Structures are given as C-alpha cells and as structure tokens.
Structure 1
Amino acid sequence: MVEPLRDIIARHGLQATKALGQNFILDRHLLARIAAIPGPLDGANAYEVGPGPGGLTRAILEAGASLVVVERDRRCIPALAELEEEFSGHLKVISGDALEVDEQAQVGRGAHIIANLPYNVGTALLLRWLGGEWRPWWASLTLMFQREVAERIVARAGSNHYGRLSVAAQWRSTPRIAMAVHRSAFVPPPKVASAVVHIVPADEPEGVDPVVLERLTAAAFGQRRKMLRSSLKAMPGALDALEALGIDPERRAETVDVDEYVALARYLTANA
C-alpha cells in the first residue's frame, strides 16, 4: 500500500512555502494522468523540477522512466531520498537551484521534462528550454502553469493572450493545453486555475537568427498598443522589412502572426 501523500507531507513537516511558489497535488490518479501525457515512458529518461514531497515523481517512476529531479527546498530531500531508495537506480535527486543545473549533462538527450513548476520560476525555465540550440536536448515538455500563462503559450494572433511568449513557444515547437487543473487539486489551493501544457519540438525555420527574432518581438510587444511603424522604428532595418514583406506598418503587434514574425526575422537576419 502506497503511503498517502498527505501523510508523507505531515511526517516530514512539508508545509508548502509561498516564497518558493509551492503548491502540492495530492491526488495520485491526477498525478498519473499528468505523467501519461508525454506518452509511454517505459525505459525513457525524464527530468522534473520542484518535486516537493514526490507525488509526481512516483507517478513518473511507476510509468517506467529513469528520472532526475532537482529540488531547491532542502526540507523535501528526506522524502525524495525514500523514493530514491525504493526505486534504486532509477531516481537521482539533486539538491539545488534548477536555474543553475546543467540539465543535459545530468539527464542526457531525448529526455521528457515533466513538472508541476514552481510558479515563481516557471516562465524563466520555459524560456530557457525553448532557447539555445535546436533541436533541443529534451524530447517533450509537460509543464503545469497558471491557466493565464498556459493560454499565453498557445495563443494565436489577434487574441488578448497573444504575445512574446506565444511566439517563443510556437515558432519552432508545437504547444497545446493538455489538461485543465482546478485550484482545489492543490494544497494549499492557489488563487487561480492551472493547466498542463505539452510542447514538442518542431523543425526550426531556415535562415532565422533566434536572437533577431527575440529582439523583434521584444520591440513589437514592448509597445503593443502602438503601430508597428512606431514600435519598430528603433530597430535597424525593421521598417524596410515590413515594406519588403507587404506587412502594413499601421498594424499592431498582436495582429502579426508567428509566420509573419519569422519572415520578418529572416529578412532582418539576411540583411544584417
């Protein structure tokens, strides 16, 4: 009989800490559903950030993965050590800050990242995983976010949620909201609803410098209420790119779709 997570939390004195963005999920059936989102994990490598008392950790391990977890809260390490002993050879626990870990060195290529991310570092970690070399070292991302952040990740041009995060997530990967999670599923319940986002890499468009695309979207969405001719005027070559591609400079950033941003970045890359 697997010990209830509520009892593990009580036994180790693991009250969630707001400063660390912690909200624990106790429902093992829900955790198993989250672990199943990437598909079969038997024999796969996986990586988890912020495992807390180890509920999702156990679900991933029971799905057959070999798992590396990074936990900043040292109070959680004894509970995770119990899992490390139970699943000997299949779990490695790292005590530290996920923003400072060389993940590929720890996990290897082709790993599935599955995590109920701490809210205070979730977006920073996502942008880190979406950046850098492509194709990336990870095979998929299955990540819990606040519902609003999840909607920003998958938003299309013209919607209120569409912005820099949407373009960053969609220009060379495919995101979807895999599951909505009610606030009552967490201890303590957060003030907002949550959702699990699943992201898989796609082919990188040719001829695009990621740094150029990042600067372009930063300029455009930094002044999103202004027309492009105003928000992009300080970026060398941007207005010429609009004209060359037939993009109306009186449009605003949220009306320009991902493919158009990619085309603009390609033009700027070629004419730098």
Structure 2
Amino acid sequence: MNIDDLPPLRDVIARHGLAAKKTLGQNFLLDLNITARIARAAEIAPGDLVYEVGPGPGGLTRALLAAGARVVAVERDERCLEALAEVAAAYEPGRLTVIPGDALEIDEMAVLGGQPAKVVANLPYNVGTALLIRWLSADPWPPWWRSLTLMFQREVAERLTALPREDAYSRLSILAQWRCRVRHHFDLNPKAFVPPPKVTSTVVGLTPLPAPEHECRLPALERVTAQAFGQRRKMLRQSLKGLGIPPEALLDAAGIAPTARAEELGVADFARLARLLP
C-alpha cells in the first residue's frame, strides 16, 4: 500500500465531519512530508510495534504504516473511528489496531500484548504532560516503551531539554534527564495544523537509559524536587524545610551550598539529596 493511494486527509475530515474539538486538545496534522519526518525521527523500521495516542483522522498513522510499523492506536474521539477503520482496511490485517478509549486509563502493556513498543504521537495538548510523566515514572525500569517520539507545545519541549540556570529548567527537566537521553528534533509552524494552534509545536525524542546514571529512589527524587522547585527563587536552606529534616544538615551532607537555588542544581545534585532522604 502506498500512502498516496489513500484519500487526502482534508477529504476524510470533510466527509466524516471531523472538525477539531478544543475540549479534546485536537489540532490535526495534515502535511504528509511532516508526518513522514516524524516517522523518520522515531527511526521506524519494518516490523516495529508502535503505540500511538490520539491519531485523529490518521495523518501520522499513515506515515507510521508506510514506514512498515505495526500500530496500536488509542483514540478517545468516537467520530474518528470510522476514518481510522478505513486506514486499517487498506492494509493487511493486524497492521493497525484501533482501541477506543482514554489513553490516561489504558493499560499499555495489556493492549500491546506485553511487547515493547516505540511510542510516537502528536499528543493532545490537554493530556500530553500527564501522559509523559506517567511514562517517565514507569515501574519497573527499564520501561515497556523502547523510545518516545512526541510532539508538544514548545514550552513543554523546552522544559524537557533545559539545563541548570535556564528559565525552562524544572522538575520535569530533572525527571526526564535522570531516566532518559532527551533530544530536540524539530519545531513546527502552527500553519502545519488544522486548526492552527496559537503556539509553536516541537518534536522531541526520549530514549530510556538502562538505569539512571545517578542512583536514587524515584519517590525521594520527586519529594526533593517538589520542595526545591515549589519555591525555586528561594535559597535551598529555606525551600527544603518542607522535607521535615534540617535542610542545612542535608545540604552539607550532599556537599551543596545552603544559599544555592533549585535552578542552579544539576541532576546529579538532586540525586545526591534524594539518596540522603529517609
């Protein structure tokens, strides 16, 4: 099957009445050159199992199938199911499986049959960060996913790649970089979407590390970063008081100046603090 043998996406959207819904965070990506570029960024090879969230009318889905992937797609919008069924019918059975439902409530391992998968998605803006945190917090680790190639609004993508002292540096930066190699792939102009969003979008890639380079327990890392970034402009001797232990003793044991601020610490620093928590 050639991707050009399928009806144009604009025709599919018109025929099925698929006007994007703001309540579902939908912005449809119709440019086949861009969807193919996303598939290349994900390094899709024939036979790869791909998990896609929010395929909508199937623009990115088509590119993944054309690259040879087997795709399991979760779609919450029932209006899109008939259009996706038409894409599935154009390929041999088993190449595309569409699961109606909310991705936040899906047991990914169950729907994937326990097989590791690459996650590739133009994530709906209203659930993107929540899904990412869920995937980064997977237990056990390494996770069920082999890689994440995801589209976010640019401000979220910047938080994933930000380094200490940069404005976008945050708790999400620490979590992502503690467990993954994070890569900025490319930005997309709002005009690439229907309807055009008010923000620039960015495609990022995350590859899980076999184990974090800086050992610590995830719950402890979450505790210390929540306290530190909850008052990011304050010195750590003040912002870490909510941990319930004397902050200055904790910072001294970790070799960190009590006058430092959260935005100045790297992943290794936060991991040292986390290892000292009871």
The SS at the match of 2:160 is helix
Normalised TM-score (structure 1): 0.96
Give the Å deviation of 1:244: 1.0
Give the Å deviation of 1:205: 4.1
Which of 115, 120, 136 pairs up with 1:114? Answer: 120
Equivalent pairs counted in the alignment come to: 269
Give the Å deviation of 1:86: 1.6
1:205 and 1:179 map into 2 onto residues whose CA distance is 27
Give the Å deviation of 1:45: 0.6
Question: What is the identity, as a one-letter code, of the residue corresponding to 1:36?
Answer: R
Which of 13, 17, 20 pairs up with 2:21? Answer: 17
The SS at the match of 1:141 is strand
The SS at the match of 2:242 is coil
**Contact 2:74-2:98 at 8 Å conserved across structures:** yes
**Aligned runs of 1:84-233 on 2, under 5 Å?**
84-87=88-91, 88-107=93-112, 108-133=114-139, 134-202=141-209, 203-205=211-213, 207-233=215-241
The SS at the match of 1:198 is strand
**Contact 1:245-1:264 at 8 Å conserved across structures:** yes
Q: Percent identity?
A: 56
Q: Which runs of 4+ in 1 moved over 4 A?
A: none
**Contact 1:68-1:92 at 8 Å conserved across structures:** yes
1:177 and 1:236 map into 2 onto residues whose CA distance is 38
1:49 and 1:240 map into 2 onto residues whose CA distance is 45
2:44 and 2:217 map into 1 onto residues whose CA distance is 34
Alignment partner, residue 260 of structure 1: 269
Range with bigger deviation, 107-116 or 45-54: 107-116
Alignment partner, residue 258 of structure 2: 249
**Contact 2:215-2:271 at 8 Å conserved across structures:** no
Question: What is the identity, as a one-letter code, of the residue corresponding to 1:236?
Answer: G
Alignment partner, residue 60 of structure 2: 56
Which of 38, 41, 44 pairs up with 1:40? Answer: 44
Question: What is the identity, as a one-letter code, of the residue corresponding to 1:151?
Answer: E
Give the Å deviation of 1:236: 3.3
Give the Å deviation of 1:110: 2.3
Give the Å deviation of 1:206: 6.3
Which of 72, 94, 97 pairs up with 2:76? Answer: 72
Which of 233, 236, 242 pairs up with 1:234? Answer: 242
Range with bigger deviation, 140-149 or 231-240: 231-240
2:176 and 2:215 map into 1 onto residues whose CA distance is 18
Range with bigger deviation, 202-211 or 251-260: 202-211
Normalised TM-score (structure 2): 0.94
Question: What is the identity, as a one-letter code, of the residue corresponding to 1:77?
Answer: L
Question: What is the identity, as a one-letter code, of the residue corresponding to 1:127?
Answer: I
